[in-house]
Amino acid sequence: MAKKNKKKLKRTHHHGYRNAAPRAPSVPRPRGAKPEEETPLKRLAYTAGGAAGTALAGSFLAHEGWAPKTIATALGAVGAGLAWKGDATTVRSIGAGMMSAAGSQLALMVIDERDKKTGAPATQVAKKPSNNAEALPPGALESALERAQARLALATGE
């Protein structure tokens, strides 16, 4: 059997192997900015910002003449959409704040309306007594006049 002759390629210190062409310079990879870490405090701040923005938008729309229930429903729906389908965690946190603020306002309005319809005694204000003389017991007006005259006489020193 014939012996195979294996030649080793000699490495030069510049190009790798003896007959190899120089390496093409590598293209630097773009280094994007590190994604900002979301902390619970940042998430809370974005949620509170969404709630505050909803309050401002709601007051502006109320000033423009929109019905309060319509405002709360519309802002709640927008907030729910952002919280559900938002691309970034920031957008989802803002949407959650919007949804919770608008939802709580809508719930308060519905509860208040229900209490007015049922006439809950806790929310009814007692009627003030009328200020007419027929409702007074007999002789009360004359005795009040006598007391006032006596006080006036004491004050003036008569």
Strands 11-12 and 16-17: antiparallel
pLDDT tens digits for range 74-97 = 999 999 999 999 999 999 999 999
- Residue 35: which residues within 8 A CB-CB, separation 6 or more? none
Give the DSSP H or E segment for 94.
Answer: helix 89-118
pLDDT tens digits for range 108-127 = 999 998 888 887 555 556 66
Rounded Cα–Cα distance for residues 98 and 9 (Å): 70
Q: What is the pTM of this model?
A: 0.53
Task: pLDDT band for 5, please (50, 70, 90 cuts).
Answer: low
Give the DSSP H or E segment for 46.
Answer: helix 40-63
